[in-house]
Amino acid sequence: MTFGFAPSSAASMSTSANLSAASANPLTRMLEPAEWAAAGIPLLRNPREVVSGLHARHLPRPTTAIVAVLDADERLRASASFTRRSAPADGWMFRNSLLAQLRRVIPHDLRRRTPVRTAVLLYCREGDARWTEEDGAWMWGLRDACTLHGLRCGAYITLTHDGWQVLGEGRGGRRPSADSPPESFALTEAPAPLPRTGGAASEVLRRAAAR
């Protein structure tokens, strides 16, 4: 037999009310710039190359979000773009959208002790490069989606008519922008594995090619 103290009904109702209020308030699901800067987000070695590559691949326009997974050498492993729904900014909704895209394009890394791949988010929007509550909700969503998919949380980048900006780092540039045409594809991908040589299968392929 075990003994314990059961919380009073008043305390239980108070706790439930607080949790419900927090879950119903989107402002609790956002990160301030100071919180983001203190989170230890890894710096991109060449942010312009990453931005240019994603811009050339997805051609984003305002309200387009691009989530990309990079390996340790910042080579692109997977990416997906989608349009933000016309609803109030909510980190929980953003988290769900990002997680759905990640699950669609790349397997999770939850079995690893430490993440080896990094997810970055590029969001094309109206306005200037200054932080907004919408940015804070995207930051919250990216961090949570990375945790649930076994990835390291990487940079959050905004793309506006003025250019691109890595929030929390102070790095940015004028090109590409939300208006610029695509540049040459710069974001390198891992090369496809070379076919194995030798054996009966290679001989069959060699003869077929000779025909």
pLDDT digits (tens, 9 = 90+) for 100-116: 999 999 999 998 888 99
List the one residue out of 105, 180, 99, 183 whose CA is nearest residue 141.
99
Quote the distance between the C-alpha of residue 81 and its chain's center: 10
C-alpha–C-alpha distance, residues 29 and 204, integer Å: 59
List the one residue out of 191, 206, 204 whose CA is nearest residue 75.
191
Whose tokens are 């983001």? That residue is 36
pTM of the shown model: 0.76
Phi, psi of 124 (to 5 degrees): -95, 125
Q: What is the mean pLDDT of residues 199-209?
A: 41
pLDDT in the model for residue 74: 93
Sheet arrangement for strand 118-124: 76-83, 64-70, 118-124, 152-160, 163-166, 171-173
What pLDDT digit, counting tens, does each position of 12-60 carry?
444 344 434 444 565 679 999 899 988 889 999 999 999 999 999 999 9
